Structure 1
Amino acid sequence: MISVVILGSGNVATHLFKAFNKADGIVINQWYSRNINAIASYKNDTEVIDDLSLIKDADAYILAVSDDAISELSSQLPFENRLVMHTSGSVNIYDIDKKHKRGVFYPLQTLSKDADIDFAQVPICVETIDKKCYPIIKDLAVAIGSPTKRVNSDQRRVLHLAAVFVNNFTNQLYRIGHEVTESEGAEFDLLKPLIMETAKKVQDLSPFKAQTGPAMRNDKKTIRKHLKLLENQHHKDIYELLTTSIQHTHGRKKL
């Protein structure tokens, strides 16, 4: 049985709590948050605290907090030489105070409190300085059904950067598509099968080979029609930027 203490009350902390709480082989000793009201509803499931001096012994301490808080919080922990992990995609493992055994437990997935997550579909990027700590970190991931991948801090940083492109930026493009369809009363839902097929396609093809559309074909007539349809200058700028990027990638002549 692996004992853990979770620190933080955001999206990642909440999903990890739910996953660990259901998993065989894991016991949650405590859940800490500076704002205890944020986790008070879970007090019947585990002990919730807002005072670091009350923190209990555990096999692993998981800092599921904002990137800027990791270094300071790790230095404030009233113990040393125990396994302390953060869950960030962009923070170096060495940002954790050196008095601890340092590790990273980074779920490479978009996590929102109100959305259910199947951790079998969430790869956990694992990093540790002390090799003896690796089995504990891996066992935590295995217990919640997640595949693991050992990565270093540089690899994790570029994975996080790439995740911003494929998730956050893509979602903003969905929002723009929603605004465009709303402008003429068209149904955005009609695009959802296309969204699913696009995501499905890159499971088997590289993004380079999967690219289609007017920019890929260098269909200047259609591109100009699209630009004329767009009334929002911000949307025009994004359309032109992405069209140029596709043309550059595939060696097409620019407008």
Structure 2
Amino acid sequence: MIRVVILGSGNVAQHLYTGFLDQKHAKVIQCYNRKRLLFHPAQEENSITDDIGSLKEADIYILAVSDNAITPLSAQLPFKNKLVVHTSGSVPMKALCNLNKRGVFYPLQTFSRDKNIDFDSVPICIEAEEEKDVHLLKDLATPLSSKIYEISSDQRNILHVSAVFVNNFTNHLFSIGNDICKEHNIPFEILYPLIQETAQKVIQMNPDQAQTGPAIRKDTKTIERHLNILSDPLQKEIYQTLTKAIQSKYGKKL
């Protein structure tokens, strides 16, 4: 059995703990966070510590902390030559202190505290300096997910940029759509089937082929009507920027 210690108190730490809870191949033997937060009702109080000097002996130490905390926390670890990995999409593996063996265990998914995650469908990107540690990370990840990828720090950084576009920016557009509906007393739920179809379509076909709407059609009258509806200057700017980007990509001009 692979012994795991999770350091951190955020959403990724919580979901990793829950994900490993029913696994027979790995056991989270301890969690470290300064608030001594419990991640699950079944978790025992004595498995939580806020004292970094009292970390238990483990095979893998997972730093599920903010990007800025990775380097300083890894330098505070009270041991050497252990496998220490972080879960960040954008931080290089070498940001970890070199007194320990370094690696990455990056689950590429958006994590919210109150939303359950099916880890089997979550891609897990792994990286390590030594081949034996790559195998250990594969052994840790494989029973958890069916989608395991060996990804370098440079590749992972590029992947993270893409993820920001398809998730964070897209979610912000959903938020804008919700605001517009709310402003005009329209139920946002009317758009749910469209949101689902849009997401499913880009899985089934190339996003370039899936592009529709007034921008690609060069429907200037509809675009003008939409801009007249928008009362928020920032919403107008975003609409115009995205319209210009779509038309530029597909060879059409404003």
* TM-score relative to the length of structure 1: 0.96
Deviations 1:13-58 (A, max 9, x none): 0000000111121111100002214659664276100101111111
Any unmatched runs of 5+ in structure 1? none
Deviates more, 1:85-94 or 1:138-147: 138-147
Moved more, 133-142 or 62-71: 133-142
Query: Aligned ranges for residues 130-149 of structure 1 at < 5 Å?
Result: 130-149=130-149
Contact 2:123 2:145 in 1 (8 A): no
CA distance in 1, matches of 2:132, 2:139: 12
The aligned counterpart of 1:68 is 68
SS in 2 for 1:190: helix
Cα RMSD after superposing both structures:
1.4
CA contact (8 A) 2:87 2:105 kept: yes
How many positions carry a matched residue from both structures? 254
Matched, 1:26 2:26: yes
Residue 11 (str. 1) matches residue 7 (str. 2): no
Residue 51 of structure 1: aligned partner: 51
Which residue of 2 is the match for residue 220 of structure 1? 220
Q: Give the drift of 1:142.
A: 1.1
> Percent identity over the alignment?
49
Pairing 1:116–2:146 present: no
What's the counterpart of residue 198 of structure 1? 198
Q: Which stretch of the first structure deviates more once superposed, 94-103 or 134-143?
A: 134-143
> 1:103-182, aligned counterparts within 5 Å?
103-182=103-182
CA pair 111-83 structure 1, distance change in 2 beyond 3 A: same
- What amino acid maps onto 1:134 in structure 2? V
AA matched with 2:15: H
SS in 2 for 1:203: helix
Give the superposition deviation at 1:145: 2.7
Structure 2: state its 5+ residue gaps: none
1:19 & 1:45 partners in 2: Cα distance?
Answer: 19
Which residue does the alignment assign to 2:95?
Answer: 95
Q: Is the 8 A contact 2:38 2:48 kept in 1?
A: no
The structure-2 alpha-carbon separation of the partners of 1:140 and 1:147, relative to structure 1 and needing over 3 Å to count, comes to same
Rounded Cα–Cα distance in structure 2 between residues aligned with 1:51 and 1:161: 35
Q: Against the structure 1 CA distance between its residues 87 and 46, is the aligned structure 2 distance closer, same or farther, given a 3 Å change threshold?
A: farther
Question: What letter corresponds to residue 127 of structure 2 in structure 1?
Answer: E
